Amino acid sequence: MTEGTGTTAGIAGYTALVTGGGSGIGLGTATRLVRDGAHVTICGRTEEKLATAVTELEGVAARSEAAGLPVGSARYVVADVTVEEQVGAAVAEAAGPRRHLDILFANAGGSHTMGPITEADLDGVRATIDLNLVGTFLCIKHGAPLMAAGSGEGVDGGEAPGGSLIGMSSGAGHFPHRYLWAYGSAKAGIDMLCKYAAEELGHTGVRVNTVQPGIVDDELMSFITAGGPLLDDYLAEMPVSRLGTVEDIAAAVRFLAGPESAWITGEALAVDGGHHLRRGANYGLLFG
């Protein structure tokens, strides 16, 4: 994981929860937050993966300390974002002794089905919506009360300010990607859910935004990024024609998480090399 050389002290001491934080964009974002001095809790369903990720994050914190930079920390909690009790427990753990959560990146997601609508498996569709849309809803439901201004202590020991909640959407939720309709519909739901939450929670000091990544070279997308017609199709429809990196997305989330974006809420930020300006990818290419 590339750590870079600079740091921003704007989130030093902040508490953060990153769901799906054991790998990919979740781990990349946790790395960026820890590097900038935040106390980050990652969650996911696989304890071994989480434990390995925390070891990596502790190394990031140690190198920051050695360089005289703000020192963050990392820990994990095993949680399935589709199980309400586990989400509530993860949020409470991440809030820590200050009883306040500054940042929540609802990153966990994925697709359990792909292909024509008329041939879709209902269980796969429901699982996709549950993981993405319902999981994000549960993060907002349980995270927002602990992110509200005045809930717990601030970093300086005074009254806590409001927090920032970022939902993980996708370009597939903004414009059609052939045969990726269940995933895309769930991601579109996240964008609208977060707009509703931004409108409803603004008076509490909680900001809510989403990021809409394009094709990113991580574990989840390796079946595409390894090469082939679908990757070629993606690149042909991107004005900045390259694969995205985990760091590209982490930088966008970091901006939305911190005080630099204090007057931004209800935004859906495309981070996709301009892919949204053209047409979506044709996943039919995977079916021959």
Contact 76, 21 (CB under 8 A): yes
Please confirm, yes or no, whether 183 is among the known catalytic residues.
yes
Beta bridge partners of 75: 41
Give the whole-angstrom CA distance, residue 166 versus residue 144. Answer: 11
Picking from 85, 89, 86, 63, the residue whose alpha carbon sits closest to that of residue 74 is 63
What are the start-end ranges of the H helices in 148-282?
A: 181-201, 222-225, 229-236, 246-257
10 burial type by CB count under 10 A (0-12 exposed, 13-18 middle, 19+ buried)? middle
Beta bridge partners of 17: 41, 104
Kindly give, in sequence order, each residue whose CB lies less than 8 Å from that of residue 192, ignoring residues fewer than 6 positions away: none
Which helix H or strand E contains 51, and what residues bound it?
A: helix 47-66
Active-site residue, selected from the candidate residues 179, 183, 234, 283: 183
Catalytic residue IDs: 183
